[in-house]
Amino acid sequence: SADQPTTPSSTTTPASPAKEQATVLAEASRRRSFAVISHPDAGKSTLTEALALHANAIREAGRADGKAGRRTVSDWMDMEQDRGISITSAALQFTYRDAMINLVDTPGHADFSEDTYRVLSAVDAAVMLVDAAKGLEVQTMKLFAVCKHRGIPLITVINKWDRPGKDALELMDEIQERTGLVPTPLTWPVGVGGDFRGVLDRRTGQYVHYTRTAGGTTIAPEEVMDPDAAVAREGDAWTTAVEEAELLADSNGDHDQETFLAGQTTPVLFGSAVQNFGVHALLDVLVDVAPSPSPRVTVTEDTRPVEAPFSAFVFKMQAGMDTAHRDRLAFARICSGVFERGMVVSSARTGKPFATKYAQQVFGRERTIVDTAYPGDVVGLVNAAGLRVGDTLYLDKKVEFPPLPTFAPEHFAVMRAKDVSRYKQFQRGVMQLGAEGVVQVLRSDLRGDQAPVLAVVGPMQFEVAEHRMATEFNAPVSLDRLGYSMALRTTKDWVAQLNEQPGVEVLQREDGEYLALFPDRWRVTSVRNRLEGVVLLEDEIFG
Ligand code: GDP
């Protein structure tokens, strides 16, 4: 138990490798790790709460709209609360049926999409949440592109069916046309948007009738009926649903596990997160069709089996989340083996040992001590000041996973300490923000250490940096925006010549890459013409 003194792992009796491997395989195969991707306001926070409610993790679903007076537990940082947006990510773990579900939360605002991209490298599946009235929105499409690129299978949930919206068949066409995925609805709505009575379960042909509960804060009762009872009760609404479901069957709209895992089809569910309708069905689908953790590719291009010794990678860093816990947390996704608290692991980047004496699960404000965790799980490692986003952690023989994708920044600003006597605090803050991936930090001899350039994908990242420098590192800063809009990677050999080009500047990022900053695409073209053979590489950009 947690009260007993922790024993260093080296002195515990190791389980026989075969037995431990069998345990790891069994635990991994019951894991379902996923994230929800959606455009802001589609209902992600509400769905998260509803899932937790169904899993009995939280007794009453908090309401995402501040009006209800309560905050959902996944929304907590100062700025988040002020603005009502999710900036930081947390993970929620709960059991459902025999499965262990890990829901990794993603920030909703487009300015923090770099964070979301990193979260998507830590999950095995994603739920694409679509507002029935709006269809596929800008941010949904961007995140969809990332999932497609990474080969992450997608389950689609059409949300807010309790409100008037688009026609269900029209939404299926939209999905197919805009994502190329063939939608394979598992449920089909009975009643048009705004008149949500229940769903036809296309696998059984039965009717699942939903009953509203007060404010959707408790689990909505579901009643399963045969088609005869359904037609007697719902009349035309049922007959229409049956007819439409038959149309789908004619157009290859039935779920197929192989094409789903290959990213060619997407199972679709209809629901209303705010009323807790369809949430149960989503949990069942996650358990029944979503993949469990699989072997992960390493930098040497081979794969690390899930039953191999412990390995994980850091996909998210967080600091100063809560004034009561002023610490650094590194969120790591476990890829193989068993994690035991107290274990001393190594960091592939530095080769240094890292003691996991304190490991936690964090969801919103709540923290739970983790003693054991398995592939697919996310653990928050405390006192992680020496770690960076993207670091691989391992036990035994060295293993390293490929670096997380970096995204071409589009906004740049010089940061300076307002009070020069706070130089130390300033430097500590800059280093930490870089390590966490809050901003990319660029430097050059010309600009010097006192005036690093911050590079971001979304301008709100600047605000987070400015806010944290003042409140957390006690080093208020000023930011001056620079007129660049593009950054291309180059090599050391080209630095001097590029710096001579008007309007162009080369800086070095913390990962060692040289980035050439340009005001616009025209300048890139003219420099390419002028400097024959110049190395200018574009970073991975999606959407
Ligand atoms: P997020 O930005 O994606 O996290 O969205 P929220 O969960 O904060 O929801 C945005 C707004 O939509 C809130 O006012 C919710 O109450 C509302 N909402 C969420 N789900 C539903 C739903 O199923 N039906 C209706 N009518 N409103 C919903």
Q: Which residue has the higher pLDDT, 301 or 263?
A: 263
Render pLDDT for 202-242 as a digit per residue (tens, 0 to 9): 999 999 998 877 655 667 788 999 999 999 999 999 999 99
Given a contact cutoff of 8 angstroms between Cβ atoms, the answer to whether 399 and 304 are in contact is yes
Q: Are strands 182-185 and 265-270 parallel, antiparallel or unpaired?
A: parallel
Q: What distance in Å separates the CA atoms of residue 490 and residue 535, rounded to the nearest whole number?
A: 5
> Measuring from atom 6 of ligand 1, which residue has the nearest CA?
43
Q: Is 64 in the pocket of ligand 1 (CB under 6 A)?
A: yes
Burial of 393 (0-12, 13-18, 19+ CB in 10 A): buried
As for the ipTM of the complex, it is 0.99
The position carrying tokens 């990319």 is 440
**3-class secondary structure per residue, 94-154:** EEECCEEEEEECCCCCHHHHHHHHHHHCCCCEEEEEEECCCECCHHHHHHHHHHHHHCCCE
Q: Which atom of ligand 1 is nearest to the CA of 84?
A: 8
Q: Is 263 in the pocket of ligand 1 (CB under 6 A)?
A: no
Question: How does residue 4 score in pLDDT terms, banded at 50, 70 and 90?
Answer: very low
Give the Å distance between the CA of 41 and the centre of ligand 1.
6
- State what percent of residues in the chain have pLDDT above 70: 84
Render pLDDT for 99-154 as a digit per residue (tens, 0 to 9): 999 999 787 666 677 788 888 999 999 999 999 999 999 989 988 988 998 899 99
Q: What distance in Å separates the CA atoms of residue 362 and residue 253, rounded to the nearest whole number?
A: 39
Q: Which atom of ligand 1 is nearest to the CA of 49?
A: 7
> Measuring from atom 18 of ligand 1, which residue has the nearest CA?
43
- In this structure, of 212-226, 304-318, 396-410, the range with the lowest mean pLDDT score is 212-226
Read off φ and ψ for residue 403, nearest 5 degrees: -60, 155
Q: Is 160 in the pocket of ligand 1 (CB under 6 A)?
A: yes
Question: How does residue 87 score in pLDDT terms, banded at 50, 70 and 90?
Answer: very low
Question: How does residue 327 score in pLDDT terms, banded at 50, 70 and 90?
Answer: low
108 is known to lie in a ligand binding site: yes
Q: Is 40 in the pocket of ligand 1 (CB under 6 A)?
A: yes
Render pLDDT for 454-493 as a digit per residue (tens, 0 to 9): 999 888 899 989 998 998 899 999 999 999 999 999 999 9
Q: Is 109 in the pocket of ligand 1 (CB under 6 A)?
A: no
Question: How does residue 318 score in pLDDT terms, banded at 50, 70 and 90?
Answer: confident
Q: Which atom of ligand 1 is nearest to the CA of 40?
A: 2
Mean pLDDT of 424-430: 94
pLDDT higher than 50, residue 345:
yes
Residue 1 is predicted with a pLDDT of 38
Give the Å distance between the CA of 463 and the centre of ligand 1.
26
Render pLDDT for 21-45 as a digit per residue (tens, 0 to 9): 999 999 999 999 999 999 989 999 8
Q: Is 274 in the pocket of ligand 1 (CB under 6 A)?
A: yes
> Measuring from atom 24 of ligand 1, which residue has the nearest CA?
160
107 is known to lie in a ligand binding site: yes
Q: Is 41 in the pocket of ligand 1 (CB under 6 A)?
A: yes
> Measuring from atom 13 of ligand 1, which residue has the nearest CA?
65
Read off φ and ψ for residue 437, nearest 5 degrees: 75, 20
Residue 366 is predicted with a pLDDT of 62
Helices (H), 271-380: 279-289
Q: Which atom of ligand 1 is nearest to the CA of 63?
A: 16
216 is known to lie in a ligand binding site: no
Residue 540 is predicted with a pLDDT of 59
17 is known to lie in a ligand binding site: no
Give the Å distance between the CA of 43 and the centre of ligand 1.
4
Give the Å distance between the CA of 25 and the centre of ligand 1.
37
From 44, 213, 274, mutation site for ligand 1 pocket: most ligand atoms within 8 A of C-beta: 274
Burial of 366 (0-12, 13-18, 19+ CB in 10 A): middle
Give the Å distance between the CA of 40 and the centre of ligand 1.
9
- In this structure, of 6-10, 315-319, 535-539, the range with the lowest mean pLDDT score is 6-10
